[in-house]
Structure formats: C-alpha cells, structure tokens
Amino acid sequence: MKTRFVLALLLASGCAAAPPPQSPAAASAPGAVSRAPYDSPPVASDTVTIALDLDAARKILALLSAPTFNPDGARALESLPAVQAAIRDSKRPPDVFEHDLAAAFEDKTRVTGFDFRKIREDRARWEELVAMISGRESELTKLTSDRARALLPADRPVSVTMAISLTFGLPGRADHIVVPDANGAGWSVVVDLSRALSDAQSSPPAEQIKHLSRLMAVEAYQRAWAEYRAGSPAWQRRDGTLGQLESLLRRVAEAGPVALYSVDENFFPLAVWLRQPMRDNLDELNRVADRLVSAEGDLDARMSVAAEIQKPDFTARVAGPAGAFLADGIIQVLGLDAYRAALSGGPRAFFATYERASERKGSGLFPLGKAVRDQLAAAKPK
C-alpha cells in the first residue's frame, strides 16, 4: 500500500501557484486560520504514540560508507524488518537487493530495483540528516503525534501506536510503504528518507523535520481515524436516510479527513489556492451522485457504480481530494469545533455541515450538486 491520494499531484501540476506562508489572502478568508488545520492544538485526550526506528537507515549508510562492497553486510541487512518489507514490496528475490547494493559501488552496473548509488554518492549529507533526526527524535515524534491528534473529535478518545521505520532505497517511486500487521489489525510504515525529503533538501533542519512529520502524521492520523470510526455508532451503522448515495457519501467522508494531511501547509485555505482542482473534484463527485440516482431502477447499473466507488483508484482520484476540499471548507468557514462535531456525527453530518458552510455569505465555497442537496434535505427531521 503506497500513498493513497492525488492532492500532491494537483499541487505539482501547475493548477495553483504556491502561496507564501501565512499569505494575506489566506489570512483574510472567511473564518480562516493562520496555519494548516493539522497544526492546531489537539482538544481530545487521545494517545497517538509514534515508535520511530532508525536502525535500517543507519546500517544502510554504514554499509554504503565502506570503501568496498561487503556481501556479508548486505545479507545481514535483510534481517531488518524495514528491509524485509521493502523486498516484499518489490516482488523480487533478496538477491536483487544484494545486487543493487553492490551496484552502488560500481558506476557501470545497472540498478534493477533499489537505487542505492545516489545514496552512496551523497552519503555525507544523509549521515548528517540521520544524526539530526536522531538528536531531535522526541521533537519529531511529538510533532507527528500532535498533528495526528489535532483533527480528531473529542467525544471518543482513541489510543494507537504507529511504528515508523526510516530507510533508504525503497523500490519503485514510493516515498513510503505501509506494512499490514500479521493479524490485520493495524499497520506500520517504512519511509524512504531520500524520497520523502526530496522537495525539502535545501530547507533548514526545522523545515525538514516538519516535512517529515507531516508524511508520518498522514499514516498516524489514518490509523487513529479508523480506530475512532470503529467505536462510533454514527459511523458503524448504515444511514438509510442517505438512500442510494450512502456508499458514495460515506467513502468521501471517510477519506477526506486523511487526504487533508497530504496538502502542504502553504496551500490553506484550499478554496483559494486550489480553486480549480476543487471545482473539478466536486464536479466529478456530483456526476457520480447523479449516476447513482439515475440508476435507482436499474440494479446492474447501480451495482456497477457501487463497485467503482469501492475501488482504491476512486478514493485516490475523487473521494480523497473532494473530501479534503469539503473538510477544509468547513474548517475555514465554521471553525474547528464545527468540523470535529461534523466528524463525530457521521457521513450525513459531514456533508450537511459543508452545505451549511457553503451557504454562508462570502464563503467562496462551491455548492454541492442537486442530487446530494436533495438527499440531505430529504434526510432532515420533519
């Protein structure tokens, strides 16, 4: 399992120019806060513990710092959980990992899955970074925990532990991978430092710590958010008042709060700095809602749309980004207390609160489509 949402792609696509931190436009937006929502103080008594493991990063750098390749050292690395997870994710045998480690010492040998050559070439900088992270580990884990707890509702405290291992040379282009527990009850995270900090290499140490903490907070919040929903009647029971739209609205309301964490601090409020992507995603959300409503009498068509909604690609492409825009709209216009209350109320409360925010004069938010608004109106108590 890799990065789930595409908001980062929207930021890189040229859809919006990067604003300066605490820009005047952001500060003057209705109900705006002066920083990213996940940088707000937590209000609940949640416990999110971050267990950080730098062992793989240190040992890979030690091997790459030797004058010649050490095959025994390479095989010893394979016993580390983070390395085992990377090899499994590559879907290749361990000897590919060993081959690519050896290739880091030879300019002409082709890398096949794990690119350690660049790490070896720049190992002095990475050694300095790992030392910095080690020296500021308590700061990094506290910031990650605070961010993960910031947007949780206060009515149902949760307690979770997230294991995060730092390494180098993940296969493919992922900056991190998610490793399910053996019992399927949770997951741990393996982060490739070189990729995770590729956009922050020239930043001061404090900014690199913040950048890394946000990536880690995405997964920690997702774990805590899942734990919260598992114990919440509003999220566990099916809401028949939403009719054919129940599965769609639930998917968006579940994914949006997590996708909010994938956005850089400088892009809030999203309705200002990502206005066109917001319009595009909400238009797509409304089109899917229209398809569900029009398929009410056609079982095959309805099942086809329902199956599409459950696919990971739909969550990454539509549900996550659209949900993030709705979430930030609520926060910017109505405030964090209203947002946390909306989350505690379940999917219908999430959409109804956004509708209320969009109706606020001067909000600058796009309205929900007719199919969604009609269903919300039908669901209101008489």
- Relative to beta strand 47-53, strand 159-167 is parallel
Beta bridge pairs of residue 179: 188
Q: Which pLDDT belongs to residue 351?
A: 98
- Using 50, 70 and 90 to split pLDDT, how confident is the model at 31? very low
pLDDT tier at 11 (50, 70, 90 boundaries)? Answer: very low
Which of 179, 3, 174, 11 minimizes the C-alpha distance to 82?
A: 179
Mean pLDDT of 22-27: 40
Average of per-residue pLDDT across 223-227: 96
Confidence of residue 369 (pLDDT cuts 50, 70, 90): very high
Contact of 100 with 114, CB cutoff 8 Å: yes
Q: Are strands 187-192 and 176-180 parallel, antiparallel or unpaired?
A: antiparallel
Q: What is the pLDDT of residue 291?
A: 94
pTM of this structure = 0.89
H or E segment at 352?
helix 347-358
Average pLDDT of every residue of the chain: 89
Domain ranges of the chain: 46-231, 239-379
